[in-house]
Amino acid sequence: MKKIFLFLILSFVISVNAQDFKPYKVESGKISYENLKYSTHSGYSNKNGVEKSYSKQVPYVAEQIIYYWDEFGDIAFEEIYQVSKFGGKLLPEKVKIAERLWVDEHRYYFNFKENKVSDDPYYLRIKCREHFQYYQIKNSWIETLYMGVEKSGTIEILGKQADYYNISNYQDIYAWKGLVLKDESFSTSGSNGPRNTIERAKIAVEIDTSLVINKDLFNPTWLKREKLYNSLDENKIVELLDGRQEVLEQADNIEGIPLQKNDIVLFVTSKLTIGKMQVLEIDENKQLTIKYSLYHNNNIIDWGDSFKIKNNTVVNIDKPHYKNVATEELDFQWSATNNPTLFPQNNISVFLLKSSRSKSLKINQYNRKN
């Protein structure tokens, strides 16, 4: 009995510690990177009457990245800017193209152009959790993620002594206290062949470990909106439609309801299907792009993540890709000739979720009146 008790205590301690990832030896800070790509420049040289061809890889800065971390790397946030076109031609000004957030076992990525969030498993954290004892012994996420790899030297980067890891023929990593300061990728002649040329590199150009981190960075607006949208399953939508009219704005059957980017709309179709959608974009051609989900018995029966509706188009959202649809099955019309407006058809119910336009992006709790 005593052995079982000790085993349970040990299991509990390991379980708690397994959540304590902390990949870095520095509590918080900020690193600015340049993402380099390489273009091939070829030509001929003539020396003493002998003509020779040559080819060389010329680097250019494709992207700038600002990376923030806190809690010794348990949480991190990244901003990505495009600064040049393919080949290295500089843009008039840099353009933010994406943001990324690492938290728990999630790796969220927000694409600004598509206004979409993806959520991929945070494989590094997962592997270090699964190989917790190995991670504790090696004291290195790099050597845990790439088992069998060991540091084989140091190099000075930004005044820091960075450990060098030859990950494979394809990749080299240089890290200081667990923080990657340089990451290089190479082309090779086959999986086991020699390296040919460098293809891209991510290089730190500035590091600040005394910065006071703004905690709001780790709760970006796009993630709050995504969580709000994902929380709306069929049961939640029905609850709002039946008893929470104060959080909704209903579309007028004649005047419709004006829409703007990021609005979340709830609806009941002509076939009495419960659904939701979010406005991803209203482009220069007044085309509406949405993501949507349709429910039955609290299961998603249809969905789309970038469904496009041309200006002055009538839609049957139950069968969004069918061209020949009976008039009585139409659900709404999109028209942005004057104001971007969604018009219900066949007296269906369409509601704007008010909180999708709020800063908190939370549905207010119900206040029961006496």
Six-digit token pair at 349?
């119910």
Kindly list the distances between the CA atom of residue 221 and the CA atoms of 206, 306, 358, in Å, as whole numbers in the listed order. Answer: 27, 20, 10
Kindly state whether residues 31 and 127 are assigned to the same domain: yes
- For residue 8, is it within any domain? no
- Do residue 111 and residue 200 come from a single domain? yes
What do you get for the CA distance between the two ends of the chain, in Å?
55
Give the domain-ending residue among 192, 217, 242: 217
Residue 179, domain CATH: 2.50.20.10
213 with 226, same domain: the answer is: no
Residue 367, in any domain of the structure: no
Among 162, 189, 217, the domain-final residue is: 217
Query: Final residue of a domain: which of 178, 196, 217?
Result: 217
Residue 3 lies in a domain: no
In a domain, 6, yes or no: no
In whole angstroms, how far apart are CA 27 and each of 74, 77, 210?
9, 14, 10
Same domain, 180 and 225: no
**In this structure, are 200 and 297 located in the same domain?**
no
Domain match, 343 and 296 both: yes
Are residue 71 and residue 195 in the same domain, yes or no?
yes
Residue 192, pLDDT > 80, answer no
Banded model confidence at residue 369, pLDDT cuts 50, 70, 90: low
Domain count, the chain: 2
Q: Are 273 and 302 in the same domain? A: yes
**Which domain does 210 fall in, by range?**
20-42+54-217
Task: Confirm whether 87 is domain-assigned.
Answer: yes
Kindly state whether residues 63 and 118 are assigned to the same domain. yes
Do 99 and 213 reside in the same domain of the chain?
A: yes
Give me the pLDDT at residue 22, please. 92
In a domain, 148, yes or no: yes
* Residue 199 and residue 174 share a domain: yes
pLDDT band at 40 (very low <50, low <70, confident <90, very high): confident
Dihedral sign from CA coordinates of 328, 329, 332, 337: negative
Report pLDDT for 358: 95
pTM score, two decimals?
0.86
> Closest Cα partner for 157 from 184, 177, 182, 178?
182
146 and 288 belong to one structural domain: no
Least confident span in 7-16, 102-111, 352-361? 7-16
82 assigned to some structural domain? yes
Is the CB of residue 197 less than 8 Å from the CB of residue 180?
A: no
Per-residue b/e over 347-358, b at no fewer than 16 CB within 10 Å? ebbbbbbebbee
